[in-house]
A = this chain, B = another copy of it.
């Protein structure tokens, strides 16, 4: 049996909100009035109401529901590039647009990304200060591919101030924005106030099925709706994603502090084990990277043994590095179903 299968056979998991199965959809729609009308190519009550609600939550003038963040963010950067008549945009080397989108931004829009800093740490204020003229700077909060780091809030404020002085548009990749709020002790609107445009996702910490909101000033959103049509994202009915997004947002937006506390506790216990450590050392959101010394065969056998013995899933995959392997832990509802003795047993087993 491989690690993935071992993980899939566990009854509980440290990460997530449970299995991504059809039940996630059925739970939402069980209570919805069957006569409720579909949205219709971006119009209609079900989409307008959710867009307005999120615009308000994020403190932005307008908001648009998109099938995906990939589509939303490429469009955001394109609009800012057109507005500033500058093809250059800047982001971190581990930005989603750089590593997960098959170069869509370059292939579809011929924008020229500048990668800021290096792929081992967050970008710095000094690096932002040293940027040439660009249309837009994209900042991801938290930086997911590093394990979920956040810059101090006052550094964000300084970056925002700098961008406004220089006429650089500042875009927030807030796929996990809600997950950052307990650490920052800010509302979503207070964080978004530093940015010109914002994307948030509804299937990470929120645990919906798919879909994203892109928010910004009214003229920006008017243009984004045109691009959404051009991309084929303006579906006749997006309600199968919108209604779950709204449902799980209501269910989980106030649980982020609890996920964050539990992530810190899990990281503390992993860091107490020999040859095991996390980044961040102390998490600042619900997520962290877990690192275990050894080559992929050793670590895989070790993790699998724990999973098979305890029934608790830690990892379904490992990323091998020089002398250690890594995986991502992202805390959601699932961990709450694991009681204290089970969790003790997990760490005892992992120690051996």
Question: Which residues of A are interface residues toward B (Cβ below 8 A)?
Answer: 19-26, 29, 32-38, 40, 66-72, 74, 101-104, 107-109, 203, 209-210, 226-227, 229-241, 243
A138 to chain B, nearest CB (A): 15
Quick one: closest B residue to A66, CB to CB? B232
Q: In the complex, are the beta carbons of B67 and A230 less than 8 A apart?
A: no
A223 to chain B, nearest CB (A): 11
Q: In the complex, are the beta carbons of B26 and A104 less than 8 A apart?
A: no
**The 4 residue pairs across chains A and B that have the minimum distance between CB atoms:** A71-B232, A70-B232, A23-B34, A104-B230
What residues on B are CB-neighbors of A36 within 8 Å? Answer: 21-22
Q: In the complex, are the beta carbons of A209 and B38 less than 8 A apart?
A: yes
Q: In the complex, are the beta carbons of B23 and A230 less than 8 A apart?
A: no
Do A37 and B25 contact each other (CB < 8 Å), given the known contacts A235-B68, A235-B210?
A: no
Q: In the complex, are the beta carbons of A22 and B33 less than 8 A apart?
A: yes
Per the bound structure, the CA–CA distance linking A70 and B36 in Å amounts to 26
Can you list 23 A-B pairs, Cβ within 8 angstroms, ordered by A?
Answer: A21-B35, A22-B32, A22-B33, A22-B34, A22-B35, A22-B36, A22-B38, A22-B243, A23-B35, A26-B32, A26-B34, A66-B232, A101-B232, A102-B226, A102-B230, A103-B230, A104-B229, A108-B108, A108-B230, A209-B240, A210-B235, A210-B236, A231-B231
What residues on B are CB-neighbors of A67 within 8 Å? Answer: 67, 232-233, 235
What residues on B are CB-neighbors of A35 within 8 Å? Answer: 19, 21-23
Q: In the complex, are the beta carbons of A40 and B20 less than 8 A apart?
A: yes
Quick one: closest B residue to A204, CB to CB? B236
What residues on B are CB-neighbors of A239 within 8 Å? Answer: 22, 25
Quick one: closest B residue to A225, CB to CB? B102
What residues on B are CB-neighbors of A203 within 8 Å? Answer: 236-237
